[in-house]
Amino acid sequence: TISRVKLLDTMVDTFLQKLVAAGSYKRFSDCYKRFYQLQPDMTQRIYDKFITQLQASIREEICEIKEEGNLEAVLNSLDKIVEEGRDRKEPAWRPSGIPEKDLCSIMAPYFLQQRDTLRHHVQKQEAKNRQLADAILAGRKQVEELQLQIQARQQAFQALHREQRELLAVLRE
């Protein structure tokens, strides 16, 4: 594939060639017939100068336009974009004309990323909370056990205390 810049230069050259071919010296001398008959050499020189000047001006204009819009770089980057997409056949997406609609797909990746991040945070926190909940259940169990232990010790102690009182009563007798 020919680069767009080269294609542009070729087209302008072809345009100039054809324009020059159309404005041939014969045509030129026919139009300025009487001057040509009076001064044939001069006519040839003026014609040559005309053609050279026209071509130079047009080429200079093209160079200016290329520089003005940085056209070469832009066209080369377009070549690259087209090259990258060369395998595709079906028509590509084009703006729908409804900004809100077109914006959705542009924002989608970021919303998807936000959703995934939030999901991850929620899952992580849920896991942590499950661990905490397990720890709390274990802790509650432990508190229960401690309470049972204390209850047992307390009852034993009270039983002892009762026996003590009975014994002392006996002793006192």
27 binds other proteins (CB under 8 A): yes
Cβ nearer to other proteins, comparing 67 with 150: 150
Q: Is 157 in the site for other proteins (CB under 8 A)?
A: yes
The only residue of 4, 25, 44, 72 in contact with other proteins, by rule CB under 8 A: 4
The answer to whether the beta carbons of residues 4 and 78 sit under 8 Å apart is yes
- For the bound state, the minimum distance from the C-beta of residue 3 to other proteins, rounded and expressed in Å, comes to 10
Closest listed residue to residue 61, CA positions, set 25, 27, 103, 15: 15
Q: Do residues 12 and 58 lie in contact, with contact meaning Cβ atoms separated by under 8 Å?
A: yes
23 scored as a contact of other proteins (CB under 8 A): yes
- DSSP string of 104-173, one letter each residue: HHHHHHHHHHHHHHHHHHHHHHHHHHHHHHHHHHHHHHHHHHHHHHHHHHHHHHHHHHHHHHHHHHHHH-
Contact residue for other proteins among 117, 155, 158, 162 (CB under 8 A): 117
Which position among 42, 63, 76, 158 is part of the footprint of other proteins (CB under 8 A)? 42
With CB under 8 A as the contact rule, the residue among 73, 78, 158, 162 that binds other proteins is 78
